[in-house]
Amino acid sequence: MNKLYFKYGAMGSSKTAQALMCKFNYEQKGFNVFLFKSEIDNRKKDENGESIVWSRIGLSSKCKEYNEKFNFYNYFKDNHLLKEKNVVIVDECQFLTTIQVNQLKEISLYIPVLCYGLLTNYKTLLFEGSKRLIEIADSISEIKSICRCGRKATVNVRLKNGDVVKDGEEIQIGAEDCYESMCYSCYLKKIKDN
- Which residues in 73-97 are b (16+ Cβ under 10 Å) and which e? bebbeeeeeeeeebbbbbbbbbbbb
- If phi > 0 it is left, if psi is from -120 to 50 it is alpha, else beta; for residue 160 that is beta
> Can you tell me the distance from the alpha carbon of 118 to that of 144, in angstroms, rounded to the nearest whole number?
11
Amino acid identity, position 120: T
Is-catalytic flag, 92? yes
Helix 128-136 × helix 98-107 angle, to 10°: 40
Segments in the chain forming alpha helices (H): 15-28, 72-78, 98-107, 128-136, 184-193
From the candidates 92, 135, 169, 170, which is the catalytic residue?
Answer: 92
CB atoms within 10 A of CB 39: 13
Active site residues: 92
